[in-house]
Structure 1
Amino acid sequence: MGMFSWTCAVSGKSLANIHSGMPQEQSKCYLVTPTETIYEDAYDGYGIFGGKDVYELLGNGDRNKGISEHFSGKGKFDIKIVLKENYCGQTYEELPQSEDCEYQGYFYDFEDEEEWETDEIMIKGGEQDMELNEDVLIEYVQSKLLNQGHVVDKEALRLIFDYEMQYMIENGFVEINEIK
């Protein structure tokens, strides 16, 4: 079975699972149902919120029935997810339905976002600036991981670097200048 995720009913931002490499705050959320609000501190991608399975709630204890009814539009309630940063005590009736996340909370494609890719990056800090070729950096990290017994392909590392770079830029940890 694949991973499940939704967009925040308030912000429209994707609910990321804890394995995605996205900022941890993006996996903290509330599932708001007609009868209760359930907090989840670290969403894992499988529809479990605070120990309760949203699909079992939809299917009266039967997960498969709940999945089927949700995806056929016949669930007994609409799934409404609010990221922790956007939750202000909203009730079920006050919220729109959360949309299914096209990335499943994990498979993010930054081509739809701002361009983060460059052939070379400049890292500014301390007493010197350091110019790195992205491919050389990925090969270096891959060799270090292999020496520790971990096998990670280059495209997975590139994706991890893209996520980390976006996070560091958004939070002002580094200044990035594209080299022309």
Structure 2
Amino acid sequence: MGMFSWKTSDTKESIANIHSSRTVRPVFLLQPGGLPSIRETAYQGYGKFGGIDAYAWLAEQNFGDASLIAAAINADCGHYHEDDKAIYLCNMHISAVEFIKVVPGVSKPVVMFENYRSVLSDGTTPTSNIEKGLWTKKQLTLPYPLKFSFNSNARYEDLPPAESCEFQGYFYPDGDDA
């Protein structure tokens, strides 16, 4: 996996990695319930903060098991589609088992499909249903999403989830990271 990063939850600033020519600042992975923030002084660009894998932290907080990293990544990045009859999941994004952990209390059938060109049992494809507006896209949300701040006093409960950094903490368009 290549480099990746997030934006801080409070200021929406990119968390630059040490390979970038941008100034690297101490950043904090915030924790809920008054737990101390995890400090990282030299972000490497691969998701570790203070020696803690951010996605393992996400899995532990949300599923009670740090080994469920794949489920945490899929839930953090994934989405699903829905209509009045069912919930539709592309198994490239998340498995049905992971989905049920993230969205408990599902009362509709869950229909899995291989890719967006797959032919469903009714003869349609996911792509055609999306283009025709027959399905509504829904973003998966976690009870305890990742939250970061450059402010050591920031509180987890006061901030929104962190957004992924489109520049990966390195590939900035202003040319100062060639």
What TM-score, normalized by structure 2, do the two folds share? Answer: 0.55
Number of matched residues? 109
- Structure index of larger Rg: 1
Matched, 1:98 2:154: no
Q: Where does residue 76 of structure 2 map in the other structure?
A: 70
- What is the SS of the residue equivalent to 2:32? coil
C-alpha deviation, 1:163, in angstroms: 5.0
Task: Report the Cα offset of residue 54 of structure 1.
Answer: 1.1
Structure 2 residue runs of 5 or longer lacking an equivalent are 60-64, 79-139
**Which residue of the partner structure matches residue 27 of structure 2?**
29
1:79 to 119, 137, 146: 146
Change (3 A) 1:42 1:88: closer
CA distance in 2: counterparts of 1:38 and 1:68, whole angstroms? 23
TM-score (normalizing by structure 1)? 0.55
> 4+ runs of 1 displaced by more than 6 Å?
none
% identical equivalent positions: 39
* CA distance, structure 2, for counterparts of residue 30 and residue 47 of structure 1: 12
The gaps in structure 1 that reach 5 residues or longer are 111-158, 165-180
Q: Displacement of 1:23 after TM fit?
A: 1.0
How big is the alpha-carbon RMSD for the aligned residues of Structure 1 and Structure 2?
Answer: 1.9
| 1:24 alignment partner, SS class | coil
- Aligned equivalent of 1:5: 5
**Are the structure 2 counterparts of residues 76 and 52 from structure 1 closer, same or farther at C-alpha, using a change threshold of 3 Å?**
farther
How far off its partner does 1:68 sit? 1.6
CA distance in 2, matches of 1:19, 1:44: 7
SS in 1 for 2:39: strand
Q: Higher relative CO (CA 8 A, sep ≥ 6), structure 1 or 2?
A: 2
Letter aligned with residue 71 of structure 1: C
Aligned mates of 1:47, 1:109 — CA distance in 2: 22
- Residue matched to 1:61: 66
8 Å contact from structure 1 (residues 58, 69) kept in 2:
no
Return the alpha-carbon distance in structure 1 between the equivalents of residues 141 and 12 of structure 2: 23
More helix as a share of residues: 1
The structure-2 alpha-carbon separation of the partners of 1:74 and 1:2, relative to structure 1 and needing over 3 Å to count, comes to farther
**1:111-122 equivalences in 2 (<5 Å):** none
